[in-house]
Amino acid sequence: MEPTSHFVDANGTKIHYLEWGTGSKTIVLVHGSGLCASIWDMSAQYLSSNFRVLALDLRGHGDSDKTPGHYTWPEIVSDLPAFIEALRLEDILLVGHSRGGGVASLGGALIADKIAGLVLIEPTLSLGRILPEKDPNTLSLADITRKRRTEFDDIQSIFNSYSKADTFKNWEHEILWSYIVGGTFQQSNGFYTLKCLPETEAIFYEENTPTYMFDELANITCPTLLITSENIHRYPENSIAIQNVKKSASLFEHSIITNVGHFIPQEKPNEFNELVFNFFNKI
């Protein structure tokens, strides 16, 4: 099933989203930094057998608006409830990965009465963190991102390059292709470039989360599933923010997927999809 493509005005921002299926319950998928809605295609195909599935492009990503200077956490987070309200969604099943997990939890907390279930995949929830003073001799993640190549001759060249890179080498090839096709465009000069520019992604990495947003996590009372790799730093015991969600959720489960990195939905899609499908079907 090919998804349909749509746009909606949310929070003064044109947000692009993809849609699969026609189930009575709606799943909303939120991607991580630098990615896009099409990254979810394999998962959405699986989940749409029983659900309506929507995947949005965060601002600055994919085909959503790209407004320089407007990539703060409060702006990014507030897009989600605005998106949900614009589409008049109720009883939502919400899924977020990495930065999208932070957006899903913080944005979902603002409209907790509309969220029926929540799945967080190694969410970025380092709330109130103090960014360390930069070591001039060490490249940060943002520095590395800014050095990323932005132009390619064709999409096959992108695949050939990315499939060998540390970040993408363990991804299912079908998912990597979905990302490349949905996350790039052909310029007037014939070259292909990323829809989310490295500079935009780097800004996302550098943004600090205001401490006041931490308190709103207590609003999350719906059943919640945390999915992590074997990285113990991602476990609830090592995250004050996740501990708060665990305390307030009516049901909290933690599933660990082994032999996988941070990109769990892309590296182990079958195991991931089954976990999410089974969790939402029992709510």
Task: Name the phi and psi angles at 107, rounded to 5.
Answer: -70, -40
Buried b (16+ CB within 10 A) or exposed e, 58-97: bbbbbbbbbeeeebebebbbbbbbbbbeebebeebbbbbb
pLDDT of residue 131 exceeding 60, the answer is: no
Amino acid at 47: L
Structural domains in the chain plus CATH codes: 4-128+208-281 (3.40.50.1820)
Q: Using one digit for the tens of pLDDT, what is the confidence trace for 21-37? A: 998 899 999 999 999 99
Name the residue with higher pLDDT: 24 or 278: 278
Q: Please tell me the predicted confidence (pLDDT) of residue 186.
A: 97
State the pLDDT confidence band at 130, using cuts at 50, 70 and 90. very low
pLDDT of residue 14 exceeding 70, the answer is: yes
pTM score, whole prediction: 0.95
